[in-house]
Each structure stands twice: as C-alpha cells, then as structure tokens.
Structure 1
Amino acid sequence: MAPPPLSTVRQYDPQVYCQGSFRLGTAIRPLTDDEEYDVDSVCEFRLLTRQQLSQYALEPCRCDRVAPSHPI
C-alpha cells in the first residue's frame, strides 16, 4: 500500500480541538443508538495569516484532508 500523501497544511502548524458543548463538558448523550453526537471542531493554523492565504483559498486544503475519512 502506498504511503499517505504529504500534508498540504503542515507548514502552518495546525492545531485541532473541540469547541462548544464537548469542550465545556456539557454534551448531551444521544437518546438512541441511531443518533450521533454533534461535535464541533476547530482547526487553527498557528503559523498562517490572512495576508498569506485567504479563507477562500484555504477551503480546498481543508477538504483535501477531511474528505477522505469523513463525509462533509
């Protein structure tokens, strides 16, 4: 099997963390096994400024990293 492609965003020092009720520890458990948690996450690029790359230009980078493992 081929190794995964190199990250297109690694140079920006991405930090991923939860926000909202999960971060606060107040998430409500789904009532049934058919339901899922709603988890909000943030990906902060600590070494990237808006002058270097706009949010619009950054969107394809995010989708390239998330889409293979999670539907958007």
Structure 2
Amino acid sequence: MMKGQKGYVLVHKLSFQALTFSGLWRRVMRWHELGRERRMLAGLSDEALKDLGLTRVDVEHERVRPFWDDPMHK
C-alpha cells in the first residue's frame, strides 16, 4: 500500500498502545473523566467562572465537544 493512500494513513496513526486492552481501557476511562470534568465546569457559578477567567460561552463551547475530543491527547 502506498503512503498516500487513506488506509495507510489511518492505520499508521494508530499507536500500538491504543490497540491493547489496557490502552483501550485507559482511553475509555479518560473519556469518562472528560465528561465528568465538563459537567462540573458547566455547573460552576458565574462568579467561579469569572475567577477562572472563563465565560459561559467558553463553558458551552467546551461542554458540547464530543467525548473523544481530548485537548490533552493531540
């Protein structure tokens, strides 16, 4: 398969760790944690958000992100 083909690129981007059960389990647990953190952030008061330098718009933008969209895993 040539490097320019889409299938190669997709397979090449997958790490071996993601293919193991423990890697998959860690990823699922991280997604669960992201959801919990996003719900907690959405539950903060306007004053608490202001202390963090965030607005409701910032929180809404973060809240609607898909669970797999992990800003720390880029």
Scaled by the length of structure 2, the TM-score of the pair is 0.29
Bigger strand share: 1
Over alpha carbons, which structure has the higher Rg?
Answer: 2
Scaled by the length of structure 1, the TM-score of the pair is 0.30
Bigger helix share: 2
Which structure's relative contact order is higher, taking Cα pairs within 8 Å and 6+ residues apart?
Answer: 1
